Amino acid sequence: MEKTSSLSSNAWLFAAITVGILGLLTVLGGLPPQDQMLPFVAGAAIMIAITVGIGLLGWHLLARPMPAQHKHISWPILSGWARHLAALFMVLGVTSIAIGSVWDEVWHSEYGIPFGEDFFWRPHIMMYFGFTVVIVMAGWGWFSILRSGQGSLQQRFRADPVMGFTILAGTFLVYALPADPLWHAVYGEDITSWSLPHIVLLLMVMVIAIAAVALQSSLQSVREWSIVRGIGWRDGLIALALVSMLLTSMLLLTVDWYGQAIGAVERSVVAERPDWLLTSMIMGVAVLVALIGVHATRTVGFATLLGLLAVAGRLFLDNVLSTTLPGVNPLLVALPLMIAVDVWHGLWLRYAPGLPPFWSTALVLTAVLSIFSLPLVHQLFIYPTVDVQNAPMMLVAGLLTALIIVWMGQQVGGALASIERVESTEPLVAPRLRWADALIYVIFVVFTIFFIMTATPPIA
């Protein structure tokens, strides 16, 4: 996705860690009975193979060395205003997915709903709308790359790697979206929220959010690092994309723990998991989004902004979508970690040269986990309780998680900060484009409110 050597040179390590995390989540999500194990393994192997295959396709088109006779041609596939429009709709798509996901979880918790009767209820329709928007944007990019591109397919994708990455995101989604109902048709109802199709869709949401940030970043000039710099209007899209990524990821990876507080999930589902797993999930999601945000914008303070927006957004959605459920907001546990990312980067930039090494950030985050986040977990969640027996292992697991995720977040954020910029962004300063943005936002907000407020709960 970017021309610098950092992420490209570590692509195989990055991919191996990602596949390893996906596999770990699938296993911990719950395995079927022994007599169903062989079909389950076969289905999982097929899904993982297809996912890896799409990843290899992306590597071939965007990172694999081209033949010597193929020279690199660089030109933006879309003009400045069209590129911004694509970024805007990609962000609205991933925002729809995030709102629909929270809405889906709230309604499932409040009304139950037998398996199979929720495929076309309104929360799912809102998610389908978001997925459709992303696929349309990717199709637009594919049409543009074929119409205006030159040379081989590799050369066309390398000419505008950000748009090429967006096309690959849509291609991945075309496969991942029908995989979930097909999986259910073969294997039945999920044991927990961590079914393999859900994990693949979560990966997809992350890819979509990163693609949206990449599109918008490519329209802005390369920045120098700054502390608490004023956020411009174009940074709003970046913030909204990453907040949506944070909301969706935190929901899926922690819902089993707070779901059992209201009887939506059996206690045995989470009681069989290691005590340290919840804190590691919260640490991983919060730190990944925080590091991507800070490094992509090169702005200390951006992680705190993301955390506050996510907490406020989740509280608002919980209160709008339900008036009866006792909400448990895991983002409250994540917020101190995201603030710590900003504070540590700010102190380092002020008193030391360069950026803090990933291991130092991991150590600081582990300290914050022990002082602030673990007491919050003990206070907010029924399970696990934090005591002298399991706290040391929580800290060890948290440190290992932080070491891996901080490195990954720095890699992705650094790649986004240094991607190739389009040569001219002059059309973006036109007042009419800001009015167009405002109009699209207003239409989206009004429609979303209407869509939610006129929805009839499935069970009185």
Buried b (16+ CB within 10 A) or exposed e, 353-387: eebbebeebbbbbbebbbeebbebbeebbebbebe
362-421 pLDDT, tens digit each? 999 999 999 999 999 988 888 888 999 999 999 999 999 999 999 999 999 999 998 877
Residue 55 burial by Cβ neighbours in a 10 Å radius (0-12, 13-18, 19+): middle
Asked if 458 contacts 253 with a C-beta cutoff of 8 angstroms, the reply is no
Closest CA to 217 of 10, 441, 6, 428: 428
Asked if 25 contacts 199 with a C-beta cutoff of 8 angstroms, the reply is yes
Cα atoms found within 13 Å of the Cα of residue 90, Cβ hemisphere only: 38
Per-residue tokens: 41: 């393994």
Kind plus residue range of the DSSP H or E element containing 346: helix 331-351
Q: Which residues contact 92 (CB under 8 A, 6 or more apart)?
A: 130, 133, 440, 444
105-145 pLDDT, tens digit each? 888 877 776 555 667 788 989 999 999 999 999 999 898 88
pTM of the model: 0.90
pLDDT tens digits, the chain, 460 residues: what are they?
434 445 666 777 877 888 888 778 877 776 777 777 787 788 778 888 888 888 888 888 888 877 766 666 666 677 777 888 899 999 999 999 999 999 988 888 777 765 556 677 889 899 999 999 999 999 998 988 888 777 788 888 888 888 889 999 898 888 888 877 777 776 666 667 788 888 888 988 999 999 999 998 888 888 889 887 766 667 889 999 999 999 999 999 998 887 655 455 555 667 778 889 999 999 999 999 999 999 999 999 999 999 999 999 998 888 888 766 555 678 999 999 999 999 999 999 999 888 999 999 999 999 999 999 999 998 888 888 899 999 999 999 999 999 999 999 999 999 999 887 775 444 444 556 677 778 888 999 999 999 998 988 776 4
